[in-house]
Homo-oligomer: A and B are copies of this chain.
Amino acid sequence: MRFDQVWNGRNCDKNPTEWFPASVPGNIQYDYSVFHQFEDLNYSDNYKQFLPLEDDHWEYQAVLSYNKEEGERVFFVSGGIDYKYDVIINGEKIYSYEGMFRGFELDLTDNLNGKEDLLTVHIYPHPKSTGGRPNTRDEVDQSCKPPLSYGWDFNPRLLNSGMWEEAYIETRGVSYIGDVEVLAKLSEDLKLGTVTFDFTCELPCETAIYDMDGNPVYRGTDRRVTLEDPNLWWCNGQGVPYLYRWEIKNEKESKSGNLGFRTLRLVRNKRPRLNTFPKGRYDAPITVELNGRRIFAKGTNWVAPALFWGHLDEEIYEEHVRLAYEAHMNMFRMHAGSGRPKRFFYDMCDRYGILLWQEFPLACNNYRATPHYLGVLESEATAMITDFRHHPCLALWCGGNELFNDWSGMDDQSHALRLLNKLCYELDYERPFLYTSPLIGMAHGGYTFYADHQGGETLQSFQKANNTAYPEFGIPSVTNAKLLRKVIPAEEIVFPIPYSKSWIAHHGFDAWGRERWLCQDTLAHYFPKATTLEELVEQSEWLQAEGYRGLFEEMRRQWPYCSMALNWCFNEPWTTVGNNTLLAFPSHKKPSYYTVKSALRPTLFSAKIGKFVWIAGETFEAELWLLNDAPAAAEGKVRATLTLGDETVELLEWSAKTEANDNKQGPTVRFKLPKVDGVDRLTLNLIAENGLENQYVYQYRPTKKVVDLRANNGVE
């Protein structure tokens, strides 16, 4: 039997005698802020209220409340506590640990007095390594805290801790079923599914497997069960994410969960062979082969959807997973910056068929191999691996983000990564392991629609790029005006936008270079200066929506050389004023969400268009494609028309067929653009039936210079 407890908290340094109500799961700093009536965290730079709490000690306390039958033992069970802590029962310290990902089960029985048992969780200050820049992510390079809490270009610095996963008292008798792990394995030929039940119980137990309709496919007492021709688990778009349900039960208790059968390997992308010397190695394998089928992995980077992770519940997570599912995504990259979500997130991804690229919590730092750090990492990584290796959705492990880039400084010899490679080999032999992203062949970025120092227009640079996988790329937009007015004080919403504290706090300036993420430098390349918030938002939403559409479709056109496109990023932990996300906090769909959803349809007509801005007198060109990453052949007929202002011209009709998981390159349409007076839109319409249609809304203007028609003054 499980018993939730009533917890109180205190700040041991600032107010040691002041106890406040604490929610579990939750974060103690949040509870403190509620009790102390902090100003709205999301408004202006109010997050800074939390900065003075960073180096404090905290405590949770509960007077235990439970019922215990004769012979039962009493356990304190936790899914993980953030981050360094002691567990104390009736004044005696019985457990100490560093790390938020490992759960525990502590037998309290022999320490209980049976009357007023006092359970205390004492939490140490946030770890901060020294030697780097203070108050930056440099401080996390000797710990397994998720790096982004230390401040990231879209995440304010906000360090939280506490009982973020579920925690309860459990009484356990002879019928208790413990140490449960049920693993499913599918033979290489996909014919034989083997299930192993691992558990401990003093009573005899029955094991069972049920199909998705609830019919038993096995019932008995075996701990190893083989199913012939099992239904396979597929990711979204490739088939049904078929889940069986397993159950272990005895006369009093039962445990159950899902299992899925699939094979998954990373194979080398299909790339042309070069015969020149001197000759290097070929690219790292990154094409996902699911149940023997090479697929295009399409999706996004997931980050924690709140600043206080402890309060995240299934509803919030599920909304995100569902939105990804509806946008035809089949993969989340679980970015190292966010550690890992709560346990039930993985069950959801099993159900929705979303593959997970799961990173360990190392990002953008050089995690030096001190004995202390390696010890924590080994313990935390081991917990992550053994907790989640049973999930069919879990595609691969990855050491962390951009560790083999100049701003990190790790490499193939780094002991922390060699340790992770070893642990994954030992504990999860079949599942691929990557040292980091990107590896050879892969690439990250760009992150703007246009930037001089990044090779110009991203739409163009991706057409020239020739990478195997794009696990990160982004186009920012300014956040929806209504949401934005909730976090930026009215007096700061003036034009030109001031370099003021709320804009800075919400990542409008100085987040990544001076101009990110408002990106007024990028907007100036295309538009006259906005004079209202709504206009600013509209300009940037246009670029983001068409930018993401163009990029995702371009990567799909590059299949099978390229086999992965995951944009940076899906969501955000609070309201930024500008970000590369498809969802504004908490889950507001930007226009780009819809263009990405369109670009990720299994089958669609697509056009490769060389640039965003078209000048009168130029010949507009678009190369037509039929894209298909569905597991069945596709065909369709498209009529291409071009709309310039009020006029629409017919370009051509094209009928196309293509095999399963394959694309068809078609004709190039051309049209000489007539004179135009002002800035206009140029819309390429791909008119088709059965949901294969498409549309591109680009810019059409008289000159290369940006012209502000309102003011009659040119802006370069």
Name A's B-contacting residues (CB within 8 A). 265-266, 268, 273, 275-282, 284-285, 404-406, 411-413, 415, 418-419, 421-422, 425-426, 429, 432-436, 438-447, 453-455, 458, 461-462, 465, 467, 470, 473
Contacts and interface: CB of A to CB of B under 8 A. Distances in A.
Contact of A470 (B265, B278, B419): B278
A231 to B, nearest CB: 27
Nearest to A404: B281
A284 B461 contact: no
A413 B265 contact: yes
Contact of A285 (B411, B426, B458): B411
Contacts of A422: 421-422, 425-426
Contacts of A434: 412
Contact of A279 (B266, B413, B444): B444
Given A275-B454, A421-B418, A280 B413 contact: no
Given A278-B462, A278-B473, A421-B425, 7 more contacts: A277-B444, A277-B455, A280-B442, A281-B404, A281-B442, A282-B404, A422-B422
Nearest to A431: B413
Contact of A411 (B268, B280, B418): B268
Nearest to A406: B273
Nearest to A436: B281
A281 B442 CA distance: 8
A412 B462 contact: no
A279 B438 contact: yes
B445 A266 contact: no
18 contacts: A277-B447, A277-B461, A277-B473, A278-B461, A279-B405, A280-B467, A281-B438, A282-B404, A282-B405, A282-B406, A284-B411, A285-B411, A285-B412, A412-B439, A413-B433, A421-B422, A422-B426, A440-B440
Interface centre among A404, A413, A441, A470, by most chain B C-beta atoms within 10 angstroms, is: A413
A285 to B, nearest CB: 5
Nearest to A374: B429
Q: By CB atoms of chain B within 10 A, which of A275, A440, A444, A461 has the most?
A: A440
A302 B442 CA distance: 34
B281 A454 contact: no
Contact of A443 (B277, B419, B441, B455): B277
A281 B445 CA distance: 12
A371 to B, nearest CB: 11
A279 B436 CA distance: 14
Contacts of A406: 273, 282
Given A413-B432, A413-B433, A422-B426, A278 B465 contact: yes
Contacts of A404: 281-282
Most B C-beta atoms less than 10 A away, residue of A280, A418, A453, A461: A280
A470 B278 CA distance: 8
Q: List 9 tightest A-B contacts by C-beta distance, closest first.
A: A278-B443, A277-B446, A277-B445, A281-B404, A422-B422, A440-B440, A277-B454, A418-B425, A285-B411
Copies of this chain, tallied across the complex: 2
A28 to B, nearest CB: 37
B281 A439 contact: yes
B278 A444 contact: yes
Contact of A278 (B268, B275, B439, B467): B467
A380 to B, nearest CB: 18
Contact of A453 (B275, B281, B441, B446): B275
A636 B599 CA distance: 65
A405 B282 CA distance: 6
Contact of A441 (B265, B280, B436, B470): B280
Contacts of A436: 281
Contacts of A442: 280-281
A458 B404 CA distance: 31
Given A425-B415, A425-B422, A426-B422, A440 B277 contact: no
Nearest to A275: B453
Nearest to A369: B429
A710 to B, nearest CB: 33
Contacts of A285: 411-413
A407 to B, nearest CB: 10
Contacts of A284: 411-412
A268 B470 CA distance: 24
Most B CB within 10 A of own CB, among A276, A278, A405, A426 = A278
A60 to B, nearest CB: 38
A452 to B, nearest CB: 11
A425 B419 contact: yes
